Structure 1
Amino acid sequence: MRLKVIAGFIAFFLLVSCNNKEKMLDSLADYNNERETRGYHFGDRLELPKEVSEYAESITISFNDKETTNLTIDPKFFTLGDNKVVFIIKTKNGETLSQDATINVFTKNKEKEIPYQIIADYPHNPDNFIEGFLVEGNTVYESDGLDNASQLIKYTLGATVPTIIKKQPANVFSEGCTIVGDKVYQLTYRNKIGFIYDKNTLEKLSEFPLPNIIGEGWGLTYDGENLVATDGSKNLYFLDVNDPSKVVKIVPVAGNTETYENLNELEYHKGFIYSNVWHKPIILKINPATGEVVGKFDFTKLTNENNEGNSEYVLNGIAFKGDNMLITGKNWKKIYEIVIK
């Protein structure tokens, strides 16, 4: 009889323990799902439900190769955007539980809608599937992609005939480009290499392997110190200009309510990075030190006027002529000069 009573107590204890475990994990899952949509800001504290806090001896958050028991959203640990984490809970009865979660961190300030005015337009070759676009003085450098049709070209703004065309091998799909001194740096889409050309002649000088962490080459610019690249994710990759295979730092990009994936063509101007978002008619103004999107241009009207009903004819060209912005897109017939108000 005594053994049956002991066995009963053990069974009861196990049942209670199991119920508590399920309550903790279910409650934590509900909390995480709700906060994933709403997000956090730096300085916020994770107010975990009482079903977790009452039965937890300790709570650890694991993120990549780091761990913390601090439940405050600390920029030393988290980044802007989606942070894939694991909650590790040690219960008061000695169990260890774990649960995956996404902690979205957004900026405290809402992105400002930036007003602008179109003051001029210039012809653009509608055959060009533009990937990289930059202007130096009155000279345009343009990297055009597509399989078996990639090229780097140079022409005078307003002209319809290029001064130099550099055709690229059939297996190369050209992507973003930028100028550093007397050289043009160019990415490729999936070839995992970049090229360096003489700015004046467009003759190839050398090539370099892309860092392994960059899955694909998309956009490229130069901030005066480092090359800055995108690969279609939320990240800006800062590369050593003397060794572009070396990543100096990675800065994720987010706004007040969303993480911006598909960052594409880039341009650096007066302390900010400007980026379009692939398949969206917008250009973001980004603080490169933090990844915070401080402003946004809406070019829906221009995109609709130029896409000819083709979903691939997207906004994809950003440059500056003085303080005026120049924009164009894949297979667009025009380049537009914009005054930022």
Structure 2
Amino acid sequence: MKKSIFIGFFALLILASCNKDEKILDLLNNYNTSMETKGYHFGDKIEFPKEVTENAESISISFGDKETSDLVIDPKFFTLGDNAVTINITRDGKVLSQDATINVFAKNPEKNLTYEIVAEYPHSTENFTEGFYLDGNTVYESVGLDGKSKLMKYTLGSSTNSKEVNQPQDIFSEGISSVGNKIYQLTYKAKKGFIYDKNTFEQIGEFPYPNVIGEGWGMTTDGKTLMVSDGTKNIYFLSPSDPSKMIKYISVAGNKEVYDSINELEYHDNSIYANVWQKPIILKINPKTGEVVGKFDFSAIAKKHITNEDDVLNGIAFKGENMLITGKNWDKIYEVKIK
């Protein structure tokens, strides 16, 4: 009889423990939703619900093959934007794990930047613009789509290309930039880029992407490094002498928003300017930290041209201190003065 009572009591303890485990995991799951909404800044400490901490022998956070029991948002482990992590709760000698997303935002709110249109130039509606920059008064443009991709250049204000080269039928061209006498061009899904002689447009090389880059989207340069986007929150820094190797990367986020789908890029005056795919905005980004310090809203211009999900704002260049913008299949390039 005593043995039966003991077994029954032991079973109740196991059941209570299992229920407690489930409750902790439910709390973590609900807390995950609040973390995604609330977000943190670097230096903040992650505060778990009291019922979790009181019933845990230890708490750690793992990031793939890295793990830390320090619950402070440290840039050694976290990046700006969304961070996929696993929360590990050690309790009664066993580990309870819950996948979670922790958003890290920039500390300072981004400024709303304003502009005025000062000039308009023609742009071919045949150009599915993927890469775009200005050198002197010459526009260099990369046009996408399978079977229609090409690299071209023309004088700003002209409707006639002074030089162009077509890509193979299976290549979808993306962002471009130039360093010295070389033009670098990305491809969408071919996992490689091309290198051209800037004067003759003769292809003089190609390079594979670093493994971390899934797709080619936008490209720019500060004259020393190539900066590449791949449709995520990240911007990757590559060496022009060997673009197959990554130097570093930054992740992009504002004060209350994670910016994904970073697309066409332009570097100007110690800042990176970036389109966000399918949004009529351009971000001004600190290239050292990835923090969005300013944002342009070009809705008024974009709505004149956008009729479907493809013909979006996607082209940034600088003419002196003024910005040039255009989009896929737009009939105009706009020169705007930044107020």
TM-score in terms of structure 1 length: 0.97
Q: Distance in 2 between matches of 1:154 and 1:96?
A: 60
Cα deviation, residue 225, structure 1 = 2.1
Aligned length: 339
Instruction: Name whichever of 11-20 and 119-128 sits farther off.
Output: 11-20
Q: Equivalent residue of 1:41, what SS?
A: coil
Cα deviation, residue 20, structure 1 = 1.6
Q: Distance in 1 between matches of 2:145 and 2:7?
A: 72
Q: Distance in 2 between matches of 1:327 and 1:117?
A: 12
Query: For 1:139-183, what per-residue CA distance to the aligned partner results, in whole angstroms no more than 9, with x for missing partners?
Result: 110100111111111111111111111112111111100010111
1:65 aligned onto 2:59: no
Following superposition of structure 1 onto structure 2, how do residues 264-303 of structure 1 map, counting pairs within 5 Å? 264-303=263-302
Q: Equivalent residue of 2:57, what SS?
A: strand
Query: For 1:226-262, what per-residue CA distance to the aligned partner results, in whole angstroms no more than 9, with x for missing partners?
Result: 1111111111011121110101112111111221111
- Of 322, 332, 339, the residue aligned with 2:330 is 332
Cα deviation, residue 272, structure 1 = 0.7
Amino acid at match of 2:169: A
1:240 aligned onto 2:239: yes
1:213 aligned onto 2:200: no
Query: For 1:273-316, what per-residue CA distance to the aligned partner results, in whole angstroms no more than 9, with x for missing partners?
Result: 00001111000001111111111111111111122x23311101
Q: Equivalent residue of 2:236, what SS?
A: strand
In the other structure, the counterpart of 2:174 is: 175
Following superposition of structure 1 onto structure 2, how do residues 68-107 of structure 1 map, counting pairs within 5 Å? 68-91=68-91, 93-107=92-106
Please say if residues 230 and 236 of structure 1, whose CA atoms lie closer than 8 Å, have aligned partners that are also in contact.
yes
Unaligned runs of 5+ in 1: none
In the other structure, the counterpart of 1:323 is: 321
Q: Equivalent residue of 1:35, what SS?
A: helix
Cα deviation, residue 224, structure 1 = 2.5
Q: Distance in 2 between matches of 1:22 and 1:190?
A: 43
Cα deviation, residue 10, structure 1 = 0.8
Please say if residues 118 and 339 of structure 1, whose CA atoms lie closer than 8 Å, have aligned partners that are also in contact.
yes
Q: Distance in 2 between matches of 1:181 and 1:56?
A: 58
Amino acid at match of 2:60: T
In the other structure, the counterpart of 2:37 is: 37
1:140 aligned onto 2:109: no
In the other structure, the counterpart of 2:114 is: 115
Q: Distance in 2 between matches of 1:332 and 1:299?
A: 14
Cα deviation, residue 9, structure 1 = 2.2
Q: Distance in 2 between matches of 1:137 and 1:157?
A: 9
In the other structure, the counterpart of 2:191 is: 192
**Segments of 4+ moved more than 4 angstroms:** none
Cα deviation, residue 200, structure 1 = 1.2
1:6 aligned onto 2:13: no
Q: Distance in 2 between matches of 1:215 and 1:77?
A: 22
Please say if residues 23 and 51 of structure 1, whose CA atoms lie closer than 8 Å, have aligned partners that are also in contact.
no
Amino acid at match of 2:212: I
Instruction: Name whichever of 208-217 and 324-333 sits farther off.
Output: 208-217
Q: Distance in 2 between matches of 1:167 and 1:27?
A: 57
Cα deviation, residue 45, structure 1 = 1.2
Unaligned runs of 5+ in 2: none
TM-score in terms of structure 2 length: 0.98
Please say if residues 32 and 101 of structure 1, whose CA atoms lie closer than 8 Å, have aligned partners that are also in contact.
yes
Q: CA RMSD in A?
A: 1.1
1:128 aligned onto 2:127: yes
